[in-house]
Each structure stands twice: as C-alpha cells, then as structure tokens.
Structure 1
C-alpha cells in the first residue's frame, strides 16, 4: 500500500522530536567531544519514544482517548491540519533537550559514573588527564618551553583531544632579577601547545557547581554540623508554617475537605461511578446548590489534593500580610470572580450546560499577589514567603503558556479561572501598600 502524504508527515513527526531534542542538548551544552553517529541515532530514537509518549499522554488528557492505530495515523489531520499539535510536540522536544543539556552541564553522567566506580573500586574516566586537571583549576603556574614562568587565572582551555591551549587573565611573569612576579602588561594571555612545557596547579576552583547553587537556593545545601542536607532549613520552614497565624486559610481548607467528603458520600450512595459525574451534573440538577458551592467543589482526589497543597503553601504565608476581614473578603470575591470568568470563557465557546468549579482560581490569585507584593514591599522574606514567590512565578508561566497549548477556540482552550485569578491577585499586590 502506497504511503499517503499524511502518512509521511505522521512518521516524520513521530521520529523527528528525538533528533530535535538531541541537537538542542548538544547546542546548549556545547558538547565538543566527537559523538559517533550510531550513538547519536540511538540517543535520538530513544528520545523520540520518550517525547511521543509524553505528547500522546497529554493529547489523551486534553482531547480524548486514542482507540486505534488508524486514529493515531490521522491524528494531525482531524478534522483539518493541526498545527497546534505540531507546535505542542515541538515544545516537548525542546523541553526534553533543555533537560538533557542541564544534566550534561551539571555533570550528572559523571556523578553517576563516579558513584558506580566507587562501589566497584574502578578508576576510569573518559576524559584526558589534561581535561580533568584543568576542570578543577582556578589559578595555574605555567612553565613555558623557553623556561619562563607565568601565572594567571584560568579563563578557558581546550577540550576533547584538541591541541592543549589555555587562556589566563591577569598574567604575571616571574622575574629572576626581582625574584618576584611582575605584570606582563595585558589583561589576558593565550598559551599554545608548543609554548607549554608544564602546568602546575596554584589554586582550585572553589566556585559552587550548578547542583550546589540550586541546592543552596532551595535550602538543601549541607548545614555546618548537621550531617544532612539542609535539615535545619527544612525544620525552619516547617516551624514557619506551623507558627503562622493563618486561621482563615485553615478554615477554608476545612470547608473544602468537608464539601469533598460530601461529594464522596453522595457519589457512593447514588452509584454515579465518579466524583466528576456528580460535581458536573449537580449544576444541571441543583444549580441553586452548585453555583454557591462552586469555589469549593472538586472533580476528583487529585483536584482536591492540589487545592489543599496550594492553599497551604501560598495561603498560609500570604494571610499574615492581611487583617482577617480583608483577607476573608479577598478570598470570597476572588473565589466567585474567577468562577464567573471561567464560566464566561466556557460559555463563549460552547452552547451546552456550563459547569465551572474549583479552588484553583483563589490559589492563582494568592500566587499573583505573592509575586507582585512580597518582593516589592519587603526587604527580607522568610523561607515560606520565598516559596510563595516561586509559586507565583510558576503560576505566571502557566498563565502565559496556557493560550498556546490548545485546543484553540474550544471550551478547554484557556482556563479563565486561572488567568483571571492571577491577574486579580497581581494587580491587588502591585497597588497594595506596605504591611507590618
């Protein structure tokens, strides 16, 4: 059977993502080692399997199940050419490539190799001695082929079997007359392979690695005398959550839990099969109950758990910046405003019964507030407040990416509750005054 143009596009889109990911990783990580073509091919094909799996799982969550291979083959042409799906799979490819690049730059393969070698008592490293030596050097002394001595701070050096070359900043030359080092007169100096007779290490590079910097930022770096990874920092964060005066947030979490328990009981007694059937159907049967409770209704255990975690990590630190009356008004107004905005977006693209519910609109409002208020109005932030700001950044990225993920111009295109909630919280946080 002859291949149709749609079949050719399907197989290209199925195979290409891995190559895009690998080329992204090679470019961003600046890999200089010559990688054999079979290794690149295997790496690319395995990456394609990973990316295709992620894409198809996301497609089934957003669009519905793929029940046969024939449906899969026509995926990108149903009902017409789906450029949005091509962009989505390209997005997954770039993300996987960035993950690869970060892993390479953080030397995760080397860390894994050293861990395995330490247990097997093997001493092997694929790098040359020159590369290993220069990798940890910050300041070096160079003896040249004409018996001159130079010293300087390492800026860059050759790798991957290239001729041994090194460039240093602040170069100094040893003077026999002065019996001391004297400035060469330039900001930097390049030594070629024919110039270098011997290199001696003066000072190791004590700058923290990428992994160490990330661990330090997250509070996971080793503490002096703790013997663990940031245990005291984690304990401090726990104490800050525990001691925070966040009664209103905990009352809201209790209300969410109580309503969800009722949802479970009603679903079980009526044999509805799933909580989502009840949570959605109640808008058609008992709208006078559904709409007032919509900010605290949830469609399943994951939806419910995400709301509790969101309220805990963002609501608890933010409540301390309000008095209880204003905070309560903020929660109530943003709760119903985001429900109305989300329902409006659904109603704009659908003429069917609209059901919109959940606490995520409130959480996005709290995240937006934390992002615009905390860094601007406070010089020093506690650990839980820093984490709230981080959640604000994640919420901002989510709101910005959401319109580009599709399905375009359909009810599930944009989550109006998330977008409106973040904007409301961000605006209020930006224009709010200083707080004690």
Structure 2
C-alpha cells in the first residue's frame, strides 16, 4: 500500500475515532441503560467526532499551528513526521470530554434542559417524555405498593428502574400489611427490593416537594 494511502487511512481513524471514544465513555460512566439503536449511536459518535476534532484543532491554532484548509489537517499530524504525541493528546481529550458528558448525564442535566423547554412551549402537560412510570416516580418521596399477592408495602422511595425493561423499585423504612392483617407492621429491614412481577399498583403517598416543605 502506498505511503499516502496509509496516511489517509490513519488520518481517517484519527478524525473519526475520538467521537466514538467520547460517546462510549459518556454512555458507560453515565450509566445510560436505555437501549440505543446502532444507527443513532453512530450518528451521535460521528457528530461528536466533528465537535471534538474541531475543538482540538482550534486549540492548536491558539498555540500557533495554522489550519486554513481541510487538506492541511493531514499536515498537522504528519509534518515533519508522524506526531504520536498529538494523537495521544486527542485521545486523552476525547476521553476527558466523555467523562464530562458522563457527569452531565449522571446529573440529569439533559432532563433539566428538557423540562425548561417544555415549561416554555404550550402543549399537553399530561404527556410524559418516556412513560408515566418514570415521570411519576421522579417526583415521589414516599410510595405505597400493592403486590401480586394482595399485600401492601409503604416506604420511602430509594431507587427505581429506568431502563425500559423490568420494573424494579427499592424502598426504605418499609411497612407491610398482608390481607390477613389489620394494620401495618414494620419490616425491620434497611431496604426492600420489589421486582416487576410483584408490583401490581403504585400510589404516591408523598412527593419530594411536600416532604421538603414539611422539613
């Protein structure tokens, strides 16, 4: 294979790979469990590559490396010889951008932005972005769960699943009442975990807003 062809192949990898690194790190560390289609992931990765490489070249220009044409991108990495330190810097920067993206995902910044937009756009506010399960429990502080065997458990909402698969919910300070009992009984456990087949109905007993106002 000609040297020029090898350089073009390496350049293509250098330009495309950063976005995949950034996206993979962000999705992995941000614990995005909702299934993302391959095409959507590909589009996001390529778009991220464009952003990361543009930012990288912009930083190089601030440090005196002029890039006035697309063809000069190859010269950046191969003049006067192959410069692995720049490739390493680009990969490291891509991983860093992925960590930043993971922080934003874990902090639910995308949800906050989405809520901000929806508050300013007229429309049907009874429709949730994904499903009532997530939208309702996101505001809940204390819930009551009716199980498949007719028992009722009340407790503080600790966590709930949001991967679109099996519904799971964990409660703290749980109190149980079976069909044969007259009142509730303290479970005496730190955390109670309920799985999809056990959950028949969920009632929000107290919301986060109410809980905060009573403190």
TM-score, with length taken from structure 1: 0.43
Pair 1:144-2:147 in alignment: yes
Q: Which has the higher helix share?
A: 1
Written as runs of structure 1 = structure 2, the 5 A alignment for 1:297-308 is none
Give the number of the structure with larger relative contact order, counting CA–CA contacts within 8 Å between residues 6 or more apart. Answer: 2
What residue number does 1:183 align with? 186
Q: CA RMSD in A?
A: 2.6
Partners of 2:149 and 2:65 in 1: CA distance: 73
What residue number does 2:104 align with? 103
Q: Does the 8 Å contact 1:54/1:92 carry over to 2? A: no
Q: Does the 8 Å contact 2:150/2:179 carry over to 1? A: no
Q: Which has the higher strand share?
A: 2
Tell me how far 1:68 sits from its aligned partner.
4.6
Return closer, same or farther for 1:15/1:174 CA change in 2, 3 Å cut-off.
same
Written as runs of structure 1 = structure 2, the 5 A alignment for 1:228-307 is none
Q: Does the 8 Å contact 1:175/1:182 carry over to 2? A: no
What residue number does 1:122 align with? 123
Partners of 1:109 and 1:187 in 2: CA distance: 32
Q: Give ranges in structure 2 of 5+ residues lacking alignment.
A: 210-215
Partners of 2:24 and 2:139 in 1: CA distance: 27
Return closer, same or farther for 1:13/1:185 CA change in 2, 3 Å cut-off.
same
What residue number does 2:5 align with? 4
Q: Give ranges in structure 1 of 5+ residues lacking alignment.
A: 207-436
3-state SS, counterpart of residue 66 of structure 1: coil
Tell me how far 1:51 sits from its aligned partner.
0.9
What residue number does 1:224 align with? none
Tell me how far 1:14 sits from its aligned partner.
0.5
Partners of 1:87 and 1:205 in 2: CA distance: 46
Q: Please list the CA deviations of residues 81-134 of structure 1 after superposition, one character each: whole Å capped at 9, or x if unmatched.
A: 322211221232123223333333333333333333333322343321111122
Return closer, same or farther for 1:98/1:151 CA change in 2, 3 Å cut-off.
same
TM-score, with length taken from structure 2: 0.82
Tell me how far 1:31 sits from its aligned partner.
0.9
3-state SS, counterpart of residue 155 of structure 2: strand
Q: Please list the CA deviations of residues 167-187 of structure 1 after superposition, one character each: whole Å capped at 9, or x if unmatched.
A: 223322137887443222433
Partners of 1:82 and 1:138 in 2: CA distance: 55
Partners of 2:156 and 2:207 in 1: CA distance: 10
Between structure 1 and structure 2, the one with the greater Rg is 1
What residue number does 1:168 align with? 171
3-state SS, counterpart of residue 74 of structure 1: helix
The count of aligned residue pairs is: 206
Q: Please list the CA deviations of residues 177-220 of structure 1 after superposition, one character each: whole Å capped at 9, or x if unmatched.
A: 874432224332221222122111123336xxxxxxxxxxxxxx
Q: Bigger CA drift: 175-184 or 5-14?
A: 175-184
